Every structure is written in C-alpha cells, then in structure tokens.
Structure 1
Amino acid sequence: MQVWTVSEPGVAADAAQAALLGMIPHLGSSGFRSQALAAINLGLPSGSWSVYRIRRDAPPVCYLSGSHARPDTTPACLHAYRTWLYRHDRTFEALADARQPLQALHLTAADVPDARHRHAIYERHGLRERLSVASSFPDDSILSVNLYRHADQPGFAERELELFSRLAPGLLAMVARQIELCEPVASVPAGLPPERLRELLLQLAPSLPQRELDVCVRLLAGMSHDGIACDLGISATTVKTYRNRAYARFGIHHNNELFALVLQRSGRGG
C-alpha cells in the first residue's frame, strides 16, 4: 500500500487536462457519473469508480458510482460495503490519521487487511487495485474519490500514479461541485429520524410499497438519486421510477412538495 500527500499542481499533464476539460460540460447533469469516468479513461484507464463520504461509526454516504465499458457491479459492492463492511475497513486509517488536507492512496486487493472486506468486494467482483484521492473535514469525515482497476486490466504503473497526482486536486474539486449541484435544496429537521419519516409517509399513503417508501425516506434525508441507487443496490433510473410512482400516489410532482407534505404532517410546517 502507498500513501502520499498531494501537492498543489503546477503545469498539469495533458491527459489530466483532457480529463478535467471532458468533465466540465457535464457538471450538474445526470450524465456526470458516466461522462466523467469516460473522460478519466482518456489518460487513466479505470474499470469503475465511486465517490463516498466516510464518518466514524456511521454508514458511509455514497454520492455516485459507475463502470466504464463493462457490466456495472458498483451498486452491489457499495450496498455490501454500506451495510456492514465499512465497520471493518482499515484502508483509510492512514489518511484519517495524517494531518494533510488532500491525500492519495494506492492499494492492491492483497493490501486489504480484512479478509471479509477483501473477499466481498475485491475478490468477488474481480477488482484488482484502487486509487483514491481523499480530503478530511473538521467533523472527522473523509470525502473519497476512488478509481478501480479490474482483474482483466494491468496494474497501475508509476507514470499513472504521477498522472493521478496531477489529476487528483481538480478531480476532487469537480466531484465536490457536482455533489453541491445535485443535492436536494430542501431537508427535513434533524429531529425526524428515518423511522419517524416512514411513519409519516405511510400516514400520507398507507398503500405505499416498500421500495417507494425506501426511496422517499432517503430523499427526505438529503440523498441524491445516485446515492440512493448505491444504497439500495439498484440503478438511478429505477430510483426515479420508484420516486415518480410514489409522487403520483401523493399527488405531487417535485421534491419540495414531498418535504412540505411531511413537515405539515409532522406538525413542523410553517
């Protein structure tokens, strides 16, 4: 395993510039996750990627994931990771302990210390290596952008690690901006836990199916469509289908209307 501090870039490599320029037109769009990965592949071939925030003693929040030119196994990986494996993941400890704002990490499947983590994610889904750029926050959380090489791909070469160092600051900034643009503009009060949200939604629509309920609870918690897809192990398109069906039952069309309905039902509306 290698861990190093990412310095401020000077003159970026052509491939890094091309990747970042390829992402810019798609910022704020639903196609960002696939188009950004395609742009990264212009100079740094990667079979798949994921973006998530890690917190101590809490399930990670996934913002987006996807694969390039291969079947997408990232929802299954992230669902297993968020359900229980995150409790055993020690691969970010070096980043969490280091007092640096921006760091990169390279590890192979053999570097993953926990056998359950290594088998359920890397061996089961044919992942060979991971490159991560991560930034620490005052609340001890870490935002991580992760690129994966698969078993049918060669390992990352030294020149590619150097390219990643040049790409990493812009990549993380671009992803952070995408998260800001795509997060819901409204949120429910912190005093309403998921269990209470479920109760309120079922009061509004007693026949609401489980999957539609799952999606609505996560929307109310502030998760993006891509994040919900990662969490539930389904596609973002399927998330939107469940959302639309639920909104039809409620007689609404927009996220803000859902927030307003739940706040009114809870007695906290304006």
Structure 2
Amino acid sequence: MSDIAPSPLPRDRSAALAALVPEPGFGAALLTYIRDAADIVNFGAFYVSDLKRPEPVLSIWSGEMSDYWFRRNARTIASHDSLRQDFSDRIRRAPEGGLVIDRWHPPADDPRATIYARDQVIERVSVASRIGRGGLVSFYLRGVQAGWLSDEEVTRLRAVLPLAHELIGLRHRIVGNQPRLAAGRSFAALRADNVGAFAGLTMREAEICDLAARGLSVEGTALDLGISANTVRTLRRRAYRRLQVATTTQLTALLYSDRQ
C-alpha cells in the first residue's frame, strides 16, 4: 500500500512549459517566459545536422516579426558561406554536454547589419550546444526601442535561457523543423481523399491552408501564390469557417488531430 495519499500536485512553470513542447502554442508560451527576464521581441533557433558541412535550418521562431520575414531572413543568412561557418564556430565553442552563451551586435560590414537595421533589432543573445555531429543555436533579439540590455537583464537571461534552449532542442527532436509537415498530412491530400470537412474545401482553399500550417503569413502566401493579400484573407476566412477553426494554431492542430 502506498504511504502517500492521493492529492493534487501543482505544475510549476517549468513543468508547464515542458508539457507544451510538442504543442503549437509552445513558441508563444516560451517567449512569455523569456520576457519575464528581459524585453525580447523575437526568438528562434537554427539546427545544424553536420558541423563539417554546415547547412543551418530554421527550426522554430516566435515573436513580433511575421513568419514571412523570419523565413526570408533565415534564407538570406544561410546563403552566406561565412555565416554558415559562424554557426559551426559557435556550436564548436560549446563544451560537450554544456552550453555557450554570447551577446552580439553586427558590425557595419556584416551581411546581417542590414537585416538588423530594417527589423529594428539592436542586439542578439544566442545560446549554442552540440547535438551528435551537429548542434543547435537559439537566438533572442532585442528591439531598438528597448535599448541595450542592462547588466541586470543579462544576468536574468543567463538564468532562464539554458532551460529555454534545452526545451527548444527537445522540441526539435520531437517535432522537427516547423515548416515541414508529416508525410501525407496535408489539407490538399485530405481534400483529394474526400475526408470529412476537408472534402468541402476548394483546391485553392486547401493550398492556402497548407501554406498557413507551414508558417507562411498572409503576405508571404500572397507572394508565393501571386495573388493579393486581401484574396488570401478571404480564402482563409472561408476555409476556417468550413473547418470550424478560428486561428492558424487551431488549423495546424487540426491537421494532426483525429477530428477528421
């Protein structure tokens, strides 16, 4: 017989975050947690599978910047040989089983300087760790309006970012890269198979839903499909009504649920 009587066990904040790791709302919840330490406008992470041939892939992102610009910035950064090597160098500085943290602002001749200026970012804090032959680099961006990080804010970030980084790494191992969908799990495929409410979508609505689930913003979808942003919004509203969802988070969750 157990000598511990059954009783409610409250979840602390770390446990609540860990429970959200595989869920669509993880990014927003983690950003809220980080913002208790310092005013951070956006965060994200790049995964590098092999340090000898660094091809950084944007694994997760969240914040005030649109999905379209996050993805565009990631493509720009990953297109530079020197910047790909920078990811490897940061990961290599991390000790086995440990993390390395750095604080940085791009010099004027750095390819990222134009991105920081356009997006009103003043500085970046990043954390790197090794994973097998590769590693993970998570980054946390400070907006110009908030000014430079104070010593107190840096101290608080050093206390919370190790947990944030490890949870991001755990999510990557469970979920993979945010923009990718499980094989065969797409709105277009479910529509073609005449599955439940998905069968009521038009081909264009299914296409719009797939791009939304991959993280593309309204503006990014419009550019991708060569149509206006207003048309994208109209098609999204129609599709959401047919599928009885109200947000992109609910839409993405529906794709992986058994509700169909």
Q: TM-score scaled by structure 1?
A: 0.56
Report if the CA contact (8 A) 1:212-1:242 is conserved. Answer: no
Flag the structure with larger Rg.
2
Report if the CA contact (8 A) 1:23-1:35 is conserved. Answer: no
RMSD: 4.4
Measured in 1, the distance between the counterparts of 2:237 and 2:57 equals 24
Q: What do the CA deviations read for 1:47-77 (whole angstroms, capped 9, x no partner)?
A: 22223324546461332311xxxxx225243
Aligned positions, number:
207
Q: Which residue of 1 aligns with 2:9?
A: none
Q: CA deviation at 1:92?
A: 2.5
Q: Which residue of 2 aligns with 1:84?
A: 76
> Do structure 1's residue 145 and structure 2's residue 147 form an aligned pair?
no
Q: Against the structure 1 CA distance between its residues 83 and 94, is the aligned structure 2 distance closer, same or farther, given a 3 Å change threshold?
A: closer
Measured in 2, the distance between the counterparts of 1:54 and 1:179 equals 11
State the AA in 2 paired with 1:48: N
Report if the CA contact (8 A) 1:208-1:246 is conserved. Answer: no
Q: Which residue of 2 aligns with 1:156?
A: 149
Report if the CA contact (8 A) 1:201-1:213 is conserved. Answer: no
Report if the CA contact (8 A) 2:58-2:71 is conserved. Answer: no
1:93-108 matched pairs, under 5 angstroms:
93-98=88-93, 100-101=95-96, 102-108=99-105
Q: Which structure exhibits the higher relative contact order, with contacts defined as CA atoms closer than 8 Å and separated by 6 or more residues?
A: 1
Q: Classify the secondary structure of the residue corresponding to 1:94.
A: helix
Report if the CA contact (8 A) 1:215-1:228 is conserved. Answer: no
Q: Against the structure 1 CA distance between its residues 172 and 97, is the aligned structure 2 distance closer, same or farther, given a 3 Å change threshold?
A: closer
Q: Against the structure 1 CA distance between its residues 242 and 53, is the aligned structure 2 distance closer, same or farther, given a 3 Å change threshold?
A: farther
Report if the CA contact (8 A) 2:31-2:43 is conserved. Answer: yes
Match of 1:48 among 17, 30, 42: 42
Q: What do the CA deviations read for 1:16-49 (whole angstroms, capped 9, x no partner)?
A: xxxxx54542432443322322222222221222
1:106-255 matched pairs, under 5 angstroms:
106-110=103-107, 113-114=110-111, 117-119=112-114, 121-140=115-134, 142-179=135-172, 187-188=182-183, 208-209=203-204, 212-213=206-207, 216=210, 225=213, 228-229=215-216, 233=220, 254-255=255-256
Measured in 1, the distance between the counterparts of 2:139 and 2:170 equals 16
Residue segments in structure 2 that go unaligned for 5+ positions in a row: 1-11, 194-198, 222-232, 245-253
Q: CA deviation at 1:126?
A: 0.4
Measured in 2, the distance between the counterparts of 1:112 and 1:93 equals 20
Measured in 2, the distance between the counterparts of 1:58 and 1:123 equals 25
State the AA in 2 paired with 1:154: G
Measured in 2, the distance between the counterparts of 1:138 and 1:177 equals 13
Q: CA deviation at 1:122?
A: 0.6
Measured in 1, the distance between the counterparts of 2:241 and 2:56 equals 27
> Do structure 1's residue 61 and structure 2's residue 52 form an aligned pair?
no
Q: Against the structure 1 CA distance between its residues 188 and 241, is the aligned structure 2 distance closer, same or farther, given a 3 Å change threshold?
A: farther
Q: CA deviation at 1:245?
A: 8.6
Measured in 2, the distance between the counterparts of 1:51 and 1:175 equals 8
Q: What do the CA deviations read for 1:217-260 (whole angstroms, capped 9, x no partner)?
A: 89xxxxxx5x6348x957xxx9x979869989xxxx65378xxx
Report if the CA contact (8 A) 1:51-1:63 is conserved. Answer: yes
Measured in 2, the distance between the counterparts of 1:92 and 1:43 equals 25
Measured in 1, the distance between the counterparts of 2:175 and 2:92 equals 30
Q: CA deviation at 1:181?
A: 6.0
